[in-house]
Structure 1
Amino acid sequence: MPSCRIPLVLLACGSFNPITNQHMRLFELARDHMTGTGQYQVVGGIVSPVSDGYAKQGLVSANHRTAMARLALQTSDWIKVDEWESQQPDWTETVLTMRYHYGRVLQQYKQQNNAYPDSIPDPELKLLCGADFLDTFKVPGLWLEQHVEEVAGRFGLVCVSRGDLQPEHAVHQSDILSRHHKNIFLLREWVRNETSATEVRRALRRGHSVKYLIPDAVIEYIQQHRLYTEDSERKNQGSLLRPLTKQSIPVESLDD
């Protein structure tokens, strides 16, 4: 018989430019924490690279970022890379990506467990992020309030804190997040790892070693395709992030 724990899938959205060991550690930390609550059974993880339409400076093409993520996760038996978001012609709001993946998760899980339709809880999908992600909810024009409400209320977040960040403050300062605080799981990474994709790109541009910061297979891919050069870092220079321009579109068109 299926476990009475709630099946949980963790979804990480982001640039992954490139994916780092720290990105992957978030999944392992989150799985341990959510399993430790006694309420959840983590059944999968999804890495969803953002599309090129995000227009972030230095963002290499989505096909490279998804390829590197797949190489990095080839030894994982529970985290997969999904390219749906990365293939969209425009930047996709996080809440729309979550709706898409939850629909797939729910359909697949019910197909696999159709023998126990009344005895198993529906799976849940939660957004996995670093604790600094919570601060993005306060950036003017970056999020629509109804999207924050849906992400925090309908789905929920698992936030991993590192360094001196205090995500509890972000939850306290937001009426929406505070209202849904029971659906926001905060955990701390005690084994410090301050690797960031920005620092990795900077080191690569300068010809410095990034070994042990990102997987060897990713390093080889970067070298083979000559990624992260001074020229690539100038891509989208001076452009506004797509969320800041798209959010001016009427809400009705965002949800079509």
Structure 2
Amino acid sequence: MAAMRVPLVLLACGSFNPITNQHMRLFELARDHLHGTGQYKVVGGIVSPVSDGYGKQGLVLAKHRVAMAKLALQSSDWVSVDDWESQQPDWTETVVTLRSAPPRTNPVVEPSQQNLPSSRTFQSSCTTVMYHYGRILKQYQQKLEDRDSMSSQPPNPAAPQLKLLCGADFLDSFSVPGLWLEAHVEELAGRFGLVCVSRGALQPEWAVHRSDTLSRHRQNIFLVREWIRNEISATEVRRGLRRGQSVRYLVPDSVLEYVQQHHLYTHDSETLNQGAPLRPLTKQASDA
């Protein structure tokens, strides 16, 4: 009998300012790579836009970035948008967002015996758990129960693991002085794990090689090669928009229509937070 695959949920954190086709492509690439190992089964994906408190120049309001992400992902049957992080009054460390999901180290029990919160509990406690992870978990366990009722195969009792999905530029940011607490990098790589997709000339292998922490946890870091090179950048999308140039086919049509309807990404919006330090730099400095 074939070995049972480990279920995974992929979480991508970031500005998504705006979400592009490349952002969504990361999920497809990562899923193919993980399935190709023969060890894992990706059962869901989550996009988590950062809050306005991040302070990045040109960052439009979270309500717009969340709305655009939801429009873009209407065509996906496995990736959804979670707005918990975006609604926080201050910037939330990536590791805290991952911790906000139900623990992935639950005792091994039968799916029907899992002590899962009700839908009402999930909706009323969004400050402590990620609603979409809970929804994916419940759907996954229902599928197992349905399958097991018609099969003699033993059930897979494991709750899906949560791993951080990112691009090579995200991995490179670990080396930026003051941007990350070393304890957070240790927890991200050691406790949760990373799935990193190459981007343009940036190769994640070098980021792992340069970092003692990442090298120590290399067995928990999955490096995915994008063979069809894609240079779509949200920065360049914003630049094209404020210059009145076409960005069609770089973002979904629904996102472009939303941008035009709400008059986003103008010369004025690009000056938002200009000259202000990123919130991670000031927050991490106070916590170090």
Q: Same fold (TM over 0.5)?
A: yes
Structure 1 counterpart of 2:36 = 36
1:254 equivalent in structure 2: none
Residues 59-80 of structure 1, C-alpha deviations (whole Å, 9 max, x = no match): 0000000000000000100000
CA contact (8 A) 2:102 2:134 kept: yes
Counterpart CA distance in 2 for 1:204 and 1:131 is 25
Name the SS for the 2:286 alignment partner: coil
2:174 matches 1:109: no
User: Which residue is 1:81 aligned to?
Assistant: 81
Work out the CA distance in 2 between the residues paired with 1:27 and 1:15: 16
Gaps of at least 5 residues in structure 2 are 104-129, 149-153
Trace 1:141-180 onto structure 2 (pairs within 5 A): 141-180=178-217
CA distance in 1, matches of 2:277, 2:35: 39
TM-score of the pair, normalised by structure 2: 0.82
> Does residue 10 in structure 1 map to residue 10 in structure 2?
yes
Alignment partner of 1:217 is 2:245: no
**Matched residues, percent identical?**
73
Q: Deviations over 1:220-240 (max 9, x none)?
A: 100000000000000000000
Runs of 4+ in structure 1 displaced over 4 angstroms?
A: 113-119
| 2:72 aligned partner | 72
Q: In the alignment, does 2:281 pair up with 1:244?
A: yes
Conserved? CA contact 1:58–1:236, under 8 Å: yes
Mapped partners of 2:65, 2:232: distance in 1: 17
CA distance in 2, matches of 1:38, 1:59: 39
Residue correspondence of structure 1 range 17-32 to structure 2 within 5 A: 17-32=17-32
Give the letter for the 2:180 counterpart: W
Map 1:117-132 onto structure 2 (within 5 A).
119-132=156-169
Q: 1:140 aligns with which of 156, 177, 198?
A: 177
Relative to the length of structure 1, the TM-score reads 0.92
Q: How many residue pairs end up in the alignment?
A: 249
Contact persistence 1:125–1:155 (CA under 8 A):
yes
Structure 2 distance, partners of 1:78, 1:250, is: 36
Give the Cα separation in 1 of the matches to 2:102 and 2:232.
30
SS of the residue corresponding to residue 35 of structure 1 reads: helix
**Whole-angstrom CA distance in 2 between matches of 1:72 and 1:174:** 34
SS at match of 1:126: strand
Report if aligned partners of 2:169, 2:199 keep a CA contact under 8 Å in 1.
no
Q: After alignment, is 114-123 or 81-90 more displaced?
A: 114-123
Task: Report the secondary structure of 1:65's partner residue.
Answer: helix
Q: Which runs of 5+ in 1 are unaligned?
A: 252-256
Distance verdict in 2 for CA 1:158–1:226, change over 3 Å: same
Once the 2 structures are TM-superposed, how far is the Cα of residue 108 of structure 1 from its aligned partner? 6.4
Q: CA deviation at 1:118?
A: 7.8
8 A contact 2:43–2:136 mirrored in 1? no
Displacement after TM superposition at 1:101 (Å): 2.6
Amino acid at match of 1:158: V
